[in-house]
Amino acid sequence: MEPSPKFDCHDLLTAPARALSAKRITLMTFFLCLGLLIYDAFTYLALAVDGQAIDTFWNVYGLLPVTLMQFSSTLPEVVYGLGIALALIGLMMGFFGVAAIEIEQVRGNRFLSLGSAIRFSFQRLGQLLVSEISIAAFIALIVILMLLLGLITRLPVVGDWVYVLSFVLPSFIIAMFTVFIVFVWAISIVLLPVAAAAERNGEAFSAILETFSTVIRQPIRWLAYTAYGLVAAKLFSFVYAYFCYRAVQFVVWAVSITGGEKAELLVRSGLSHMPVRSDLVEETLNIFPGLDWSFSIARWAHGGIESTAGHVMALMLFLVFASVIGYFLAVIATAQARGYVAIRYIKDDYRISDEKPMFFDEEHVNEPQEPDHDYTA
């Protein structure tokens, strides 16, 4: 039976252990790969539109073109930016799915399946899109108003006075409000999916309202919960990555006993097709940024054989690596969900744990039956 939440920081301590499940890691890895495929497609499309050499870029970065891109015109920049936005939506769907599993567990349902969680994420895709677009549209509206103020400022004499007299009220106040909205819009990548997962009716406005309410009414507590989630995710994902590294070594060693050196050559061949020396890989295999405590797989990325099997092995090894990042993100999503449950109780005195599960109906073992005969005198 699921223990009742304490509605404080103690609920977050078990987030790494809760996230260490095949269901959550697989779900987060699935949407991570989906987002990466979208990002790759739009990145290479932007390179093609810009007329750059795609082959050269592919040989350097392959499936992980995680680098600062520079283009010579506006159109490829728009294509690249659209790819980033859609990839982030895919990532948010993963956060939503993991949060939905955790929220359902808080409600008492421990049996939400992987397939149901993925379908639920796609069903609520519209809610996430409308929420993000609504915030972006509001920011764009304020920018348009500022642009209109700029046009008025160009008027002789009158423009100067309008700009000066409206600088504090309302321009500065509106600017401060806009900066705050942009900040919440940025952190909504991890917070809004959790609020949406806890919302039963799929309403975009409710998800936006709870996202802003969490940041406005409990900013310090939310920052503390998020900081713990990030630190715990990095620490435990490093441990998970190390075990994955040793597991691959064990497979190679065991198969090599009877299969010879081909097993190791195929793994070397697969690693040779991956950017093992990239910053992303190095930071993933390091315990914390700035600390020199890591392990390296670069020495295994040479001496392989060129074959189709080697390319397929690269895909297999990529999935193993993606699961490490998937676990990292799953810990963050789980901590966010548990933190949101606690904050919702603290700020609104509302227990999400008292809600009925959305994906589980309790069945009666014996249905009540009417008596067949009347035995009253």
Give the C-alpha separation, 44 to 27, whole Å. 26
281 assigned to some structural domain: yes
pLDDT at residue 303, rounded to an integer: 78
The CB-based long-range contact list for 194-197 (8 Å cut-off, 24+ gap) reads 194/95, 194/96, 194/99, 194/103, 194/333, 194/336, 194/337, 194/340, 195/340, 196/96, 196/124, 196/127, 196/128, 196/131, 197/96, 197/99, 197/100, 197/103, 197/124, 197/337
- Cα 274 to its chain centre, rounded Å, is 23
Q: Which residue has the tokens 């929420």?
A: 131
Domain span including residue 98: 9-354
SS3 assignment for 245-268: HHHHHHHHHHHHHHHCCHHHHHHH
Give the C-alpha separation, 267 to 249, whole Å. 10
Positions of the chain with pLDDT lower than 50, given as ranges: 364, 375-377
Cis peptide before 170 (omega within 30 of 0): yes
Q: What is the pTM of this model?
A: 0.91
pLDDT digits (tens, 9 = 90+) for 27-86: 999 999 999 999 999 999 998 898 887 887 777 677 777 777 788 888 999 999 999 999
Q: What's the angle, vertex CA 92, arms to CA 35 and CA 229, rounded to 5?
A: 115
Identify which of 196, 211, 201, 233 has the alpha carbon closest to the alpha carbon of residue 334.
233
pLDDT digits (tens, 9 = 90+) for 244-263: 999 999 999 999 999 889 89
pLDDT at residue 1, rounded to an integer: 56
132 assigned to some structural domain: yes
Helix (H/G/I), strand (E/B), else coil: 281:
helix
What number of helices (H) and strands (E) belong to the chain?
13, 0
4 assigned to some structural domain: no
Q: Which residue has the tokens 């321009």?
A: 171
Q: Which residues on neighbouring strands pair with residue 286, listed in sequence order?
A: 294
Cβ-in-10-Å burial (0-12, 13-18, 19+) of 20 comes to: middle
pLDDT at residue 95, rounded to an integer: 98
The per-residue b/e assignment along 279-314, b for 16 or more CB within 10 angstroms, e otherwise, is eebeebbbbeeeeeeeeebeebbeebeeeeebeebb
Q: Which residues on neighbouring strands pair with residue 294, listed in sequence order?
A: 286
Helix (H/G/I), strand (E/B), else coil: 112:
coil
8 A C-beta contact, residue 269 and residue 306: yes
pLDDT at residue 2, rounded to an integer: 67
8 A C-beta contact, residue 43 and residue 83: yes
Identify which of 113, 137, 135 has the alpha carbon closest to the alpha carbon of residue 359.
113
17 assigned to some structural domain: yes
Compute how many other C-beta atoms are within 10 angstroms of the C-beta atom of residue 34.
Answer: 17
Give the C-alpha separation, 78 to 84, whole Å. 10
363 assigned to some structural domain: no
Q: Into how many domains does the chain fold?
A: 1
Backbone angle region of 67, left / alpha / beta, with phi > 0 → left and psi within -120 to 50 → alpha: beta
